[in-house]
Amino acid sequence: MRTLALLLAAGSLALGACAGPATAAEEPVNAPAATRTAKEAKGLKTAIFAGGCFWGVEGVFSHVKGVTAAVSGYHGGNAASAKYDIITSGMTDHAESVKITYDPAVVRYDQLLRIYFSVVADPTLKNRQGPDVGAHYRSAIVPMNAEQAAVAKAYIAQLGKAGLWKRPIVTAIEPYKTFYPAEAYHQDYMIKNPRSGYIVRWDAPKVAALKTMFPQQYRASFLRDGG
């Protein structure tokens, strides 16, 4: 599967981070509201989420009210390996990730977590999401402060007891390292390539689920280039 992704990337100017066989897409899950809500001070905050191909993660959060920026990138490894062609080899510590900036007065961190677990990623899949396989497609949450860490830990424990999935949750809470923005062609990929087969099959349904399941948080317009 990684070989296929590399061949596709090398053979097209519209190369992508995400490719794979046509398997069944995961269904959205109506995760419950967090019992441990985030207590965040005024002012913009940042958060990092990894959940498979970053096109879809960025696409979903770019439609969430209160999110003011969403940047696709790499997290977990070093600067030298923070490049797409190296990442997709599967030989780095990076995960395809999205760094978002949000206003907690509009959307709290616990609400972002609920959206993530409901429509962004299947938390029971180890080192894969959808058709994409490898540690760089792992499901991970990267808290940026102690409050986010506490909320994330509590919410994963809450979901574990809720029994929403048949398999155990494997989403990791990872310590923050440097976040490296991905190459320009990965940014705003969903809005730039709405007819891409991958986007239509895997990512557009996630945005549709966001609209249906979280109408209060859904924003119809796509947040392009952080504004």
Q: Which residues are known to be catalytic?
A: 53
Beta strand pairing call for 132-133 and 128-129: antiparallel
Task: Give the CA distances from residue 187 to residues 43, 86, 98, 190, 192, in Å, rounded to whole numbers and listed in that order.
Answer: 25, 18, 10, 8, 9
Task: Give the CA distances from residue 171 to residues 42, 82, 124, 197, in Å, rounded to whole numbers and listed in that order.
Answer: 28, 22, 7, 27
Rounded distance between C-alpha atoms, residue 15 and residue 114, angstroms: 31
- SS3 label, residue 207: helix
